[in-house]
Amino acid sequence: MDLIIVESPTKAKTITKFLDKSYKVESSYGHIRDLPKSKIGVDTENNFEVVYEIPENAQKNVTKLMALDKNADNIILATDEDREGEAIAWHLLEALKIDKDKTNRIVFHEITKEAINDALKNPRKLDMNLVNAQQARRVLDRLVGYELSPFLWQKVARGLSAGRVQSVAVRLIVDREREIKAFKTDEYWSIEAELLPESNKEHSIVAKLNKIKGKTVKKLDIKNKEASDKISLDLENCRYKISSVSSKKSSKNPPKPFTTSTLQQTANRWLGFSAKQTMMLAQQLYEQGFITYMRTDSLNLSDKFLKDSAKYLREELGPEYALEKARKHKTKSKGAQEAHEAVRPTEASMAPDNLPTKINDQQKRLYRLIWQRAIASQMTEAIMNQAAIDIDAVNTDYQFRANGQTMQFGGYLKIYPEKSKELVLPFVTEGEIVELKSLNNEQHFTQPPARYSDAGIVKIMEKHGIGRPSTYAPTLATIIARNYVERDDNKKLYPTAIAFVVVDLLVTHFPKVIDFEFTAKVETDFDKI
């Protein structure tokens, strides 16, 4: 018998379906060793020697795995294909005292029969570079937390915690709140005309004031009611004439397939899921074999998926929706050692409505989004007709413009329904007279920057290089759980009073640790390991 060890019981159950009885698949239930809870566990005086312990709640499972190991011909460590997964495999090897000569490591980024069998044919040994990268991250996080947290207990209150990534994330949210509080509102006005063409008085044209004396009107140019009223007075009893009509075709490319970051952002905006909720559901879909590994920076899609998606599109939608040559995207993240494919469905032909009934509604909604995005990335562009009508107020310095858009061919929008508003303009000709039906002046005020949503904070963390795909959701969950950040009525993130105090103290006394560039550089250094 060969013993395969994975992290979760769901993953074990899915893999078992694909293998014969010569294999036994068991779960480690995540990490079976970690740094001790009650002490630092890192000897800073002795080359940062690390002390690991087996937590009490893992003891029973460790005993079970050790007994199975004794009866196994070979041990196969099949934890996730990233640094964390490699570290879990190494901890299993060390804690269970497994014979290294009868132990192999396999990796796969999707749980399908083909992927599992292929992995079993191509085993490897543990990659200690990945293990050490994870250990370095864990040790540094422990050192920062154990050094900074007691400082906060002394200066602010007991029970507070600080962390290498979490404190920088809190700083981002505090800085945004201060931007909002310091924001000064500006007043501005817009002027809009509703006009009726002589040739078609049933279909009006709504046009905005676009130019004064040939110069484009910018957002803040009309600053107050007096300026707005003067323009309205100038336009009283004017005749209006079409000065130009133009149209052009434009194409709209489909979005790229999902990375961890863009999946979290889009699921937050489209579905209202938090980053933590998105990753929990994605983990469940992955472990059941419906999607590929969900912690990734990569935009690659396998050749098989590209071929299968093209076949699906030709057969289900028609050849006009499929590409002659697959569209491939370059991954912008150079260093991160994550899974080597984007997040995608394991089978292109597994449309959301064909999923087994055993998955719940939330899982299905997230799967639908992942499937739509991956398939759409291999579809033809949407073709739009862009139209513009310029209208002069005769014998004045004012010109209005109406913009319209119609869809000529939906392309990828047939599957991935991004908001694409159609506005049909009536047919008019240059020189045609139009009648003013109404002139509307509207007051506006500039708005402060918005608080971060889950999508927004993940995007800005990725922009600054703070954390990695596997850390965005846990970081956000941690700073909420520790009461540094709360959600407002719109589910946007805002800092608590204690967050302002903590950030100011850390910036004053530990500026390097809470610096954005330093945090990003540390991530890059981990990648080099």
- Residue 492's contacts (CB-CB under 8 Å, 6 or more residues apart) are 450, 451, 452, 453
Cα distances (angstroms) measured from residue 478 to each of 20, 176, 264, 284: 41, 19, 16, 21
* CB contact at 8 A, 482 and 161: yes
Among 240, 286, 293, 398, the active-site one is 293
Distance, CA of 483 to CA of 494 (rounded, Å): 11
Distance, CA of 445 to CA of 225 (rounded, Å): 12
- Residue 374's contacts (CB-CB under 8 Å, 6 or more residues apart) are 257, 258, 301, 305, 309, 342, 343, 344, 345, 348
Distance, CA of 511 to CA of 216 (rounded, Å): 45
* Closest by CA position to 115, among listed 340, 353, 349, 366: 340
Q: Output DSSP code: residue 395.
A: T
Cα distances (angstroms) measured from residue 461 to each of 198, 338, 376, 398, 522: 55, 17, 27, 45, 14
What's the angle, vertex CA 529, arms to CA 120 and CA 476, rounded to 5? 85
Q: What is the largest CA-CA distance in the chain?
A: 97
Distance, CA of 439 to CA of 194 (rounded, Å): 6
* CB contact at 8 A, 162 and 145: yes
Q: Output DSSP code: residue 450.
A: P
Query: In a 3-state reduction of DSSP, which class is residue 109?
Result: coil
Distance, CA of 280 to CA of 274 (rounded, Å): 10
Active-site annotation holds for 398: no
Distance, CA of 391 to CA of 244 (rounded, Å): 7
| Residue that has been written with the tokens 């540390």 in this structure | 522
- Helix axis angle for 454-464 and 472-481, nearest 10°, is 120
Instruction: Classify strands 433-445 and 23-27 as parallel, antiparallel or unpaired.
Output: unpaired
**Active-site residues: which are they?**
293
